[in-house]
Amino acid sequence: MATLVVWMLLDLARTGKATAVGVATGIVVGLVAITPGAGFVSPMSAVAIGAIAALPSYYAIQWRSRTGLDDSLDVLAAHGVGGAVGALLTGVFAARAWGGTDGLLSGHPAQLARQAAAVLATATYSASGTYVLLKLVGLMATMRPSRKEEGVGMDVPQHGEEAYTSGEGAILVMTDRAPAVDARNPGGSLSATAAGSSGVSLPPEGRP
pLDDT tens sequence across 119-135: 999 999 999 999 999 99
Query: Which domain CATH number covers 45?
Result: 1.10.3430.10
Per-residue pLDDT, 181: 46
Between the alpha carbon of residue 53 and those of residues 8, 25, 34, 160, the distances in Å are: 13, 12, 9, 42
**Phi-psi label, residue 141: left if phi above 0, alpha if psi -120 to 50, beta otherwise:** beta
Final residue before a domain boundary, out of 138, 164, 181: 138
Give the integer Cα–Cα distance in Å for 192 and 197: 9
**Across 43-65, average pLDDT:** 95
Amino acid present at 97: A
Give the integer Cα–Cα distance in Å for 94 and 38: 10
Whether residues 84 and 187 share a domain: the answer is no
Q: Where are the alpha helices (DSSP H) in 1-42?
A: 2-15, 20-34
**Across 84-106, average pLDDT:** 95
Range with the poorest average pLDDT among 28-32, 97-101, 171-175, 196-200:
196-200
Whether residues 74 and 170 share a domain: the answer is no
| Banded model confidence at residue 203, pLDDT cuts 50, 70, 90 | very low
Whether residues 92 and 175 share a domain: the answer is no
In a domain, 207, yes or no: no
In a domain, 204, yes or no: no
Residue 53 has pLDDT above 80, yes or no: yes
Give the total number of structural domains in the chain: 2
Whether residues 61 and 91 share a domain: the answer is yes
Please check whether residue 110 is in contact with residue 50, taking contact to mean a CB–CB distance below 8 angstroms: no
Per-residue pLDDT, 161: 75
The whole domain housing 86 covers 2-138
Whether residues 90 and 165 share a domain: the answer is no
Note the pLDDT tens digit of each residue in 144-202. 888 888 777 777 777 777 776 665 544 455 555 544 545 455 444 444 444 444 444 44
In a domain, 16, yes or no: yes
DSSP single-letter state for residue 190 = B
Question: pTM to 2 decimals?
Answer: 0.71
Per-residue pLDDT, 54: 96
Final residue before a domain boundary, out of 138, 155, 189: 138
Whether residues 151 and 130 share a domain: the answer is no
Whether residues 41 and 88 share a domain: the answer is yes
- Describe the chain by its helix, strand, coil percentages, rounded to 5: 60, 5, 35
Give the integer Cα–Cα distance in Å for 8 and 136: 41
Whether residues 64 and 106 share a domain: the answer is yes
